Amino acid sequence: MSEDKRRFKTIIAGRPYTILANKPEEHLQTVSEIANDKITQIKGAMPELDIEQRSVLVAVNAISDAISKQAEINALKERISELEQGKPLASKKVSTKVTTQSAQVLEAHKKPVSPKNTTTAKQRLRSQSKQAPGMPRASKEKLLNRSTEMEKR
């Protein structure tokens, strides 16, 4: 164990965990609280899921958020560099770069997806507009898929 890493004991979803990190205790406490909040939020929306399934949804959404934030940071850094070089403003260019960088990051981590788990763009758009704000995207899609199946019956 590195000298700068500390042990932080917490409870997430009713289970004790010891986290090794070089972050301040306040940071780790905030992370634990957010994880508990997200798991509780998913439990409220889909009580039939077990803790492992809820945890996977939290992780998927956290990774998605991290990819989006990193792409945004990269685009802003590039924009700062352009401004420092005296290049004119091009707001469309920044948003395109965010999308391009997100696609590149996703492509690097892409794994084959089975056809039964894929959703159409229309389903994703419907799920974003119909579900509660703040609910993880994966949860929204799952709820939408279930409601669509029930409508077909």
Q: Report pLDDT for 86.
A: 84
**Strands 15-21 and 6-12, sheet pairing:** antiparallel
Q: Report pLDDT for 120.
A: 47
Q: Report pLDDT for 39.
A: 95
CA distances from 131 to 123, 143, 144 (A): 12, 8, 8
Q: Report pLDDT for 12.
A: 95
Low-confidence ranges of the chain (pLDDT < 50): 1, 92, 94, 96, 111-122, 124-125, 128-133
Q: Report pLDDT for 48.
A: 96
What tokens appear for 153 in the block?
């019956």
Dist CA 8 CA 140 (whole Å): 32
Evaluate if pTM is beyond 0.75.
no
Dist CA 23 CA 30 (whole Å): 11
Nearest CA among 62, 72, 117, 79 for reference residue 99: 72
Q: Report pLDDT for 118.
A: 43
**Which residues, in sequence order, are CB contacts of 97 under 8 Å at separation 6+?**
71, 74, 75, 78
Q: Report pLDDT for 4.
A: 82
Dist CA 120 CA 61 (whole Å): 19
Nearest CA among 65, 38, 63 for reference residue 139: 38
Q: Report pLDDT for 18.
A: 96
CB 49 within 8 A of CB 56: no
